[in-house]
């Protein structure tokens, strides 16, 4: 890694100057005026870490057990679509990068590498599969069976997309999957997005995804698979409680990247209330806005068991494929290990909620 690339922002700047306008717009944009996208990052800056001193942090342990698998770090790669737009190796490279760091990789339904390709490319990586439920339940069941057969360890059910958010940049750019690429998990007409006026992705989703989903569909999902089920897109304690009551194995706090409902809260703003409601019952996972290791620390202090990255991995892929993704991931891990030590924590269980306070409170300490 060049000494000119020392932060996630450095990789982002490279990607901004390199990726085609339509691809960059899809990867980088949020819904409507991008208010929620903006506050995902800014909300972290309103929080202060209160360090503890003289605590012996020589032998720091960042490992944790998640859904029965021990991983090296409480940081993973979140599901995001179409990695091959950033680099020809696509999700296979991202999954291998996660494996190099002993981390979890979540594959998107709308990936440009198939479930099977990623499983073969990264056999030693702990992999989960992000699932959309299609109107065609036979197709949905087929995806689940393929995930089971290929060794994926959990299903991450996206529940915040009965329709796709209004994304101005995608509409202006007439965004669609480039014609040279295909959605890896599908064949024939389901593997392509027609070029059209407006967002081809939105039209694809509206035609195929089931917008009639209700909480009872979780029961259907549990009846056809033994894989752990994690619901992604939760922003309220009330919904988190319903998920826990239905026997879901995890709640994933996500908005996602400010791409759905604009003016929805930042994920870090709602995390404490969700943790209070269900943190003692199910695992809580978290994404959106993570750019620094200090962000990871703050999310764990507020009740997340693990956090996930999306955009930063795409910036790393754009720069240098798997190696670039590894480098970006390593930056965030190092930036997390450093404040762990400076805050006086040798293990994850020593990160306490009282170590992170709003700036208004810290000014009075």
- Binding residues for glyoxylate, by number, are 26, 132, 167, 259
The counts of H helices and E strands in the chain are 14, 12
Which is it for strands 283-287 and 126-131: parallel, antiparallel or unpaired? unpaired
* Contact call for residues 158 and 232 (beta carbons, < 8 A): yes
DSSP string over 20-75 = -HHHHHHHH--STT-HHHHHHHHHHHTEEE----S---SS-B--EEETTEEESSSE
Burial category of 44 from C-beta neighbours within 10 Å (exposed 0-12, middle 13-18, buried 19 and up): buried
Compute and round to an integer the Cα radius of gyration of the chain. 19
Three-class DSSP category at 224: helix
- Quote the CA–CA distance of 258 and 266 in Å, as a whole number: 8
Q: Which of 134, 204, 194, 215 is nearest to 164 (CA)?
A: 204
Residue list for the binding site for FMN: 79-81, 108, 130, 158, 232, 254, 287-291
Residue list for the binding site: 26, 79-81, 108, 130, 132, 158, 167, 232, 254, 259, 287-291
- Quote the CA–CA distance of 262 and 33 in Å, as a whole number: 7
């Amino acid at each position: 890694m060049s000494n000119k690339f020392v932060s996630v922002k450095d990789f982002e700047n490279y990607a901004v100057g390199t990726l085609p306008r339509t691809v960059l717009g899809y990867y980088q944009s949020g819904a409507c005026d991008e208010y929620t996208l903006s506050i995902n990052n800014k909300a972290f800056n309103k929080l202060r870490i209160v360090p503890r001193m003289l605590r012996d942090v020589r032998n720091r342990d960042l490992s944790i057990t998640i859904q029965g698998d021990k991983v090296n770090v409480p940081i993973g790669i979140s599901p995001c679509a179409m990695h091959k737009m950033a680099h020809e190796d696509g999700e296979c490279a991202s999954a291998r990068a996660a494996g190099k760091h002993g981390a979890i990789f979540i594959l998107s339904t709308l990936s440009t590498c198939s479930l099977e390709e990623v499983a073969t490319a990264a056999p030693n990586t702990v992999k989960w599969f992000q699932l959309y439920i299609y109107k065609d339940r036979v197709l949905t069941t087929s995806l689940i069976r393929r995930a089971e057969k290929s060794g994926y360890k959990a299903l991450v059910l996206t529940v915040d997309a009965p329709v796709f958010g209004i994304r101005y940049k995608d509409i202006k750019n007439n965004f669609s999957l480039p014609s040279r690429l295909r959605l890896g998990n599908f064949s024939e007409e389901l593997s392509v997005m027609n070029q059209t006026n407006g967002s081809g992705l939105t039209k694809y989703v509206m035609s195929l995804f089931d917008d009639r989903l209700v909480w009872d569909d979780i029961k259907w999902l549990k009846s056809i698979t033994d894989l752990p089920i994690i619901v992604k897109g939760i922003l309220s304690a009330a919904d988190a409680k319903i998920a826990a009551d239905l026997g879901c194995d995890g709640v994933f706090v996500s908005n996602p990247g400010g791409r759905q409902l604009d003016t929805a809260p930042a994920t870090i703003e709602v995390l404490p209330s969700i943790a209070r409601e269900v943190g003692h019952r199910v695992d809580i996972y978290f994404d959106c806005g993570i750019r620094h290791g200090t962000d990871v620390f703050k999310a764990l202090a507020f009740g997340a068991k693990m956090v996930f990255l999306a955009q930063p991995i795409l910036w790393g892929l754009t720069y240098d494929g798997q190696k670039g993704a590894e480098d970006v991931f390593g930056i965030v891990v190092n930036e997390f290990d450093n404040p762990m030590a400076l805050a006086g924590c040798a293990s994850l269980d020593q990160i306490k909620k009282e170590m992170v306070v709003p700036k208004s409170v810290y000014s009075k300490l």
